[in-house]
Structure 1
């Protein structure tokens, strides 16, 4: 059995708790949240066993001698200290994205996990979505022809974060998917944005000197010249969760808001007749997907990695580190008014 503590049972952490409670290989031994009322809510919601430690103090976990793992779903600014503590206590860690706000901190945590021979995994839930797995198969099988560009939109009316901006809150999902589908990471990035709601800089978070951007436009440029464009906004009631890759033979669309299927392949290309370009071979293919909750797959993968003592390849700490490097470069671009930033080593 894996004895696990869930740290943070807010909007997302409560779903982690639900999934770990349902896994037969897992024994939830503690729940930590700084708000006592949240602990009371989950205790009643899940009818938690009286032997489960419910505490508002993170350090109380040190008294649990048989603690195997920790799942952390707290604000991003707290991740570094919590993950480092847990690894030093000899615990495997599943951390909510982003791993931290600093690439150097991410690298340090990954190296510490490797040294301790512990699993460090980041909850990039979309990488476990059946539509993302299916989309990667389509793209890498060459069914889109020559890849031309990609685009994504992630908008809604909230939730508005107070620890990170819309870029750090939302972009990581689409960047992770583009990287996964393309099998590569960007060589350069650009970002521009607007601040409306929280214009006063948070002195504790020096990433955001102009405040927390509510709207962000992102451009990612990959080694082969492919570019992806991302629209991010948490101040727009037009809810969109849509990502597409366009090729010479068609477009692959991942649309979470679709009422039929989230993954659709739109076939179509041009035939040239003298000076005209005429569309041909147009059709729409709804792709069948495996069933399953992505977060359940995240939790199962974390547990399997611990039991097999094998780091996960799909969402390891190192994958999380690469994404934080990209986000950090985008923040630099955003703070410089859209300056193109080349990524180190690219």
Structure 2
């Protein structure tokens, strides 16, 4: 077996904690540093995972990334910090796994992609849903024509928190459903529209409604809110012969609700009504993200699903949606 990669994890918050757990458990990585500005959070990680004294716990991210033995950096810091940290990591010849969004500006994303190429390093973005077994199975179902000709889609992502202070509900939540729609369709939107409302924090909308138009004519709407106790994680694609539904909170998370109309004169009669549960293999999506990242590094080849280039397209669409909200 090849020697484990030495990895530093920057950010020990809610998502950084999951990255620490996964990379500690992975046989191909050795966690050598955990970076976070909060000393109590660093201490909590040390105690939770019984970290060795050899694991550096610090708030000095530049010092850690400058260590010559650090080969990989997993970055789960606030989105506003990503550009500077990722750029520095790449200049230090680190392969990078970054939490979404890659940055808050598409031009910065593209700059980082070009830098990664020039440094011959991999830049992978943790768009976790693209590695979800349900999303992968859904892609197969659509490709096989399970619901006929695709017509439109809709998604709802609501809950009572967590309320972020670095980005609004759009930047926190929309990227998940946008990434799934793009992946399933194999397209990126050509037109967007959006409206939003704010109650909790000035200039950080709590609820957003998004409209997307794709080159094929497919239309999608997305409802996002972190101020709604009716928790939903549901996305659907409607076709000429049925609807594919991904309901993350359901015991059967992926189903095809079949049905269409039989036309007799001026009457429309529903026919072929059937509910089919699509079996999906078990697995933690983030574990798959980490494993695929290491494969990209091992072979020095970009991720086909979640490269920096894919992330840049998503950020560009988010900026277009933001412009509609601000107009």
Establish whether TM, by shorter chain, passes 0.5: yes
Q: Distance in 2 between matches of 1:111 and 1:140?
A: 32
- 1:289 maps to 2:280: yes
For residues 47-95 of structure 1, the C-alpha deviation after alignment (integer angstroms, 9 at most, x for no partner) is 0011010001112214522110100001000000000000000000000
The alignment partner of 2:102 has SS state of coil
1:21-36 equivalences in 2 (<5 Å): 21-36=24-39
* TM-score in terms of structure 2 length: 0.98
Q: Which residue of 2 aligns with 1:274?
A: 265
Q: Is the 8 A contact 2:8 2:65 kept in 1?
A: no
* TM-score in terms of structure 1 length: 0.93
The alignment partner of 1:20 has SS state of helix
Equivalent of 2:297 in 301, 306, 314: 306
Change (3 A) 1:154 1:299: same
Q: Is the 8 A contact 2:65 2:89 kept in 1?
A: no
Q: Distance in 2 between matches of 1:64 and 1:45?
A: 25
Q: Distance in 2 between matches of 1:58 and 1:180?
A: 33
1:1-346 equivalences in 2 (<5 Å): 1-199=4-202, 211-258=203-250, 260-336=251-327
- RMSD of the alignment, in Å? 0.7
For residues 116-148 of structure 1, the C-alpha deviation after alignment (integer angstroms, 9 at most, x for no partner) is 110000000000000100000111111111111
Q: Distance in 2 between matches of 1:133 and 1:269?
A: 25
For residues 18-61 of structure 1, the C-alpha deviation after alignment (integer angstroms, 9 at most, x for no partner) is 00000001010000000000000000000001101000111221
Q: Is the 8 A contact 2:150 2:240 kept in 1?
A: yes
Unaligned runs of 5+ in 1: 200-210, 337-346
Q: Distance in 2 between matches of 1:27 and 1:119?
A: 18
Q: Distance in 2 between matches of 1:257 and 1:23?
A: 28
The alignment partner of 2:175 has SS state of helix
The alignment partner of 2:14 has SS state of coil
Aligned residues: 324
